[in-house]
Amino acid sequence: MKGRIHSIDTFGTVDGPGIRFVLFMQGCALQCQFCHNPDTWDTGTGKVVTVEDILSEIEKYLPYYRRSGGGITVTGGEPTLQAGFVTQLFSECKRRWGLHTTLDSSGFCEPDHVKALMEVTDLVLLDLKQMNPEKHEMLTSRGNDRILKFAASLSEWNKPMWIRHVVIPGVTDDSNDLRALGAFVGGLQGVEKLELLAYHRMGVFKWQQLGREYPLDGVPTPTEQEMKRAYRFIEEGRAAVERERENIITCRDCGQASGQANTVKHWICEDCKVNEHTIAVKISSK
């Protein structure tokens, strides 16, 4: 199978555990204003390669990946646009070498489109850029409903996730938006880590090379205090979800949530009450 790639990094250390082979796929459905690889957007450009081409490159560095507990990370662009290629690549990495596989995605993808890919993916790095739908569309050119649906599906599948959020002063650091992010993440299963990434301007020169005006010109990198502030608001949102969860009681028999405050020690849902009554009737009639 063939795919279009942008570039390769054979010694990645920030996109998953250990030392990693990082493959940047070509093509992206979003056009984020802070993107540091805008040259990955065009789906018709890039280098055409086969799965075997990439496997040959990986094999040269296997000792580093194995000794460090690393593996392969596929990013972009948006790798789910070429889900078939990535699925075959991950499958072969596992079959031949048992390598750990990580997908770095924006989540702008229908869950059914990547079910086969998820079966051979050990970890998903999920970028949640903005919880407010209108602000998200302004920032990325697309709404976030599909992304939140994708995150919910990962949670349902209990897929291990690292959630990432880029802190951009005046753009993605509103206190209400950050609390909403924390609340959303707090309701997901499988989240192993939440990483706050400081906005940087290292990709501005690529916009200039492409003849594009950089939309966030003049926006500074966040200070250490601004990063701590963002983290605090996110934790407030997560804590609020935890408090709500603690205040919900469940049926003692089936675990169904009652939807009411935890004011009684024992509660039985209506279905279990019916079942208990039916059993009691059968026993008494014998």
Hey, where are the domains in the chain?
Answer: 2-246, 250-286
Report the pLDDT value the prediction gives residue 39, as an integer from 0 to 100.
96
Report the pLDDT value the prediction gives residue 243, as an integer from 0 to 100.
87
Q: Is the pLDDT of residue 200 over 80?
A: yes
User: Is the Cβ–Cβ distance between 267 and 255 less than 8 Å?
Assistant: no
pLDDT digits 0-9 by tens, 70-120: 999 999 999 999 999 999 999 999 999 999 999 999 999 999 999 999 999
Q: Could you give the CA distance from residue 237 to residue 145 in angstroms, rounded to a whole number?
A: 20
Average model confidence (pLDDT) for the chain?
91
Q: Shortest CA distance to 100 belongs to which of 76, 74, 75? A: 74
More confident residue, 241 or 257: 241
Type of residue at 90: F
pTM of the predicted protein model = 0.86
Report the pLDDT value the prediction gives residue 278, as an integer from 0 to 100.
40
Report the pLDDT value the prediction gives residue 282, as an integer from 0 to 100.
38
Mean pLDDT (whole number) for 25-35 = 97
Mean pLDDT (whole number) for 22-36 = 97
Mean pLDDT (whole number) for 191-203 = 96
For domain 2-246, the CATH superfamily is: Aldolase class I (3.20.20.70)
User: Is the Cβ–Cβ distance between 181 and 143 less than 8 Å?
Assistant: no
Q: Is the pLDDT of residue 283 over 80?
A: no
Question: What is the pLDDT confidence band of residue 246, given thresholds at 50, 70 and 90?
Answer: confident
Mean pLDDT (whole number) for 151-164 = 98
pLDDT digits 0-9 by tens, 172-184: 999 999 999 999 9
Q: Is the pLDDT of residue 38 over 70?
A: yes
